[in-house]
């Protein structure tokens, strides 16, 4: 059910304060954003209605083409970064202006959603000041903030000579393997930039930003036992069976790892029985078993989220040790796949936050607050964190992300777009 708290928070987010120190160009940016809000909402509706589940390569590319036309019209050089066919991923959209002055900015979004073409959740539905639909919050709304902030800058002549790279990835929700290939273009862009701004959705209010995000590691547990008649379970020959062994391991994870600050882990899918089939790409499968047969196989897949590399490695060692304590006549192995690295809080990130806070105050939107890293999962900004300072959570305010109740507050669109436009303007005027 949609959070009542989020709706209340939205209404209380923007104080009735007068703008403080906007220069004439910044005032013009604000007017441009206001004048084009209906257009921005219509564009968001258009791209939300294009299914772009990560594995729907055609749909992801179609959303990319929609942005390509828009950024090309703003004088950006655009390109599509293809990935090897065996990855099963669409690729990434990049747009760049190669000027000579100001901070070099990397603006990060993603085109894909968690809702594949067979999902029942497919269409935009407007309900007054809110809109429901796949990707409205995560994160087509944030992509539209980027586009319409840059449109405003273009309209007032403030994009001239700027150095900006827009990177909208096509597989943020389920990255392809190997990561050194699928994130190579993003990392290369970071190495040519000074500041990274991520436009994933905001948290709780429109006056928050993210200076740190936890990393994401996937894990897969494979358990085997000795198949036999269920009346023989627990004897010396047949042992405890695969399902009891899997249950022991998961319970030990919960008992021995839960509670550490910024460490979370989950078991997202579990299949067990006499025969198991599991497709890791689609996170789905099938299991067959009978109540009078000792189960032979179990597969469990889950995630591990940590704030630092050290915390991640320590948790992996503890999980591996738990797995090694086998029940009689069972075996189990666990494999880890490091996906998104942590984005640890840094002094540079905090300095960027202070700048954004000043922009918010100057616009009359009040002070900003940082988001507890425990409230945030992984995002593409984490891949570039080792190379430059950055912030995230600059997209729209919504609720229900990754569920069929995903929605956004449309009143957040002009506010977030103005804040982005003015801040980009200031960053591209500073060295």
pLDDT over 50 at 7, yes or no: no
**Residue 304 β-bridge partners:** 217, 265
Q: Which residue in this structure is represented by tokens 């591209």?
A: 428
pLDDT given at position 11? 43
pLDDT in tens, 286-341: 999 999 999 999 999 999 999 988 999 999 999 999 999 999 999 999 999 998 88
The pair of structure tokens assigned to 213 is: 């995000």
pLDDT in tens, 341-359: 899 889 999 999 999 999 9
Mean pLDDT computed over every residue of the chain: 94
pLDDT over 50 at 1, yes or no: no
Q: How far is CA 29 from CA 12, 97, 417, in A?
A: 25, 19, 10
pLDDT given at position 17? 54
pLDDT in tens, 361-377: 999 999 999 999 888 77
What pairing do the DSSP bridges indicate for beta strands 163-169 and 104-110? Answer: parallel
Q: What is the largest CA-CA distance in the chain?
A: 83
pLDDT over 50 at 135, yes or no: yes
pLDDT in tens, 100-130: 999 999 999 999 999 999 999 999 999 999 9
CB contact at 8 A, 175 and 55: no
The pair of structure tokens assigned to 27 is: 């005032």
CB contact at 8 A, 245 and 52: no
Per DSSP, the three-state class of 18 is: coil
What are the structural domains, with CATH classification, of the chain? 4-213+343-427 (3.40.630.10), 215-340 (3.30.70.360)
Strands (E), 73-162: 77-81, 92-98, 104-110, 125-127, 130-132
What CA–CA distance (Å, rounded) separates 188 from 350?
24
What CA–CA distance (Å, rounded) separates 358 from 29?
17
The secondary structure of 105-169 as a DSSP string is EEEEEE--BS--TT-S----EEETTEEE-TTIIIIIHHHHHHHHHHHHHHHTT--TT-EEEEEEE
């Amino acid at each position: 059910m949609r959070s009542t708290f989020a709706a209340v928070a939205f209404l209380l987010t923007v104080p009735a304060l007068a703008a403080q120190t906007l220069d004439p160009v910044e005032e013009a940016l604000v007017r441009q954003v206001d004048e084009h809000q209906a257009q921005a909402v219509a564009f968001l509706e258009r791209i939300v209605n294009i299914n772009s589940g990560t594995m729907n390569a055609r749909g992801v590319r179609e959303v990319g083409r929609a942005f390509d036309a828009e950024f090309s019209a703003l004088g950006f050089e655009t390109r599509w970064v293809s990935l090897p066919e065996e990855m099963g991923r669409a690729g990434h959209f990049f747009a760049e202006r190669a000027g000579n002055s100001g901070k070099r900015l990397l603006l990060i979004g993603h085109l894909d959603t968690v809702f594949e073409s067979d999902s029942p959740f497919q269409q935009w539905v407007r309900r007054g000041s809110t809109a429901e639909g796949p990707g409205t919050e995560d994160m087509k709304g944030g992509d539209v903030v980027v586009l319409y902030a840059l449109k405003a800058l273009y309209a007032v002549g403030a994009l001239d000579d700027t150095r900006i790279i827009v990177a909208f990835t096509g597989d943020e929700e389920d990255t392809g393997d190997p990561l050194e290939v699928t994130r190579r273009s993003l990392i290369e862009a970071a190495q040519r930039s000074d500041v990274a701004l991520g436009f994933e959705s905001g948290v709780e209010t429109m006056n928050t930003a993210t200076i740190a995000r936890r990393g994401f590691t996937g894990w897969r547990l494979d358990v085997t036992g000795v198949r036999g008649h269920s009346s023989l379970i627990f004897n010396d020959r047949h042992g405890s069976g695969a399902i009891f062994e899997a249950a022991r391991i998961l319970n030990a994870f919960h008992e021995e790892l839960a509670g550490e600050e910024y460490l979370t882990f989950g078991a997202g899918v579990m299949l067990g029985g006499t025969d198991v089939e599991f497709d890791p790409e689609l996170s789905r499968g099938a299991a067959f078993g009978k109540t009078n047969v000792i189960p032979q196989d179990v597969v469990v897949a889950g995630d591990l989220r940590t704030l630092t590399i050290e915390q991640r490695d320590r948790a992996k060692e503890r999980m591996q040790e738990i797995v090694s304590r086998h029940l009689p006549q069972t075996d189990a192995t666990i494999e880890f796949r490091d996906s998104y690295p942590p984005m640890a809080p840094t002094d540079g990130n905090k300095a960027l936050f202070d700048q954004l806070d000043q922009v918010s105050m100057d616009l009359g939107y009040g002070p900003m607050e940082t988001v507890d890293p425990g409230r945030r999962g992984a995002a593409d900004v984490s891949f570039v964190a080792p190379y430059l300072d950055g912030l995230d959570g600059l997209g729209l305010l919504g609720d229900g992300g990754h569920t069929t109740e995903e929605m956004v507050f449309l009143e957040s669109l002009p506010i977030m777009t103005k804040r982005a436009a003015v801040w980009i303007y200031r960053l591209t005027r500073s060295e």
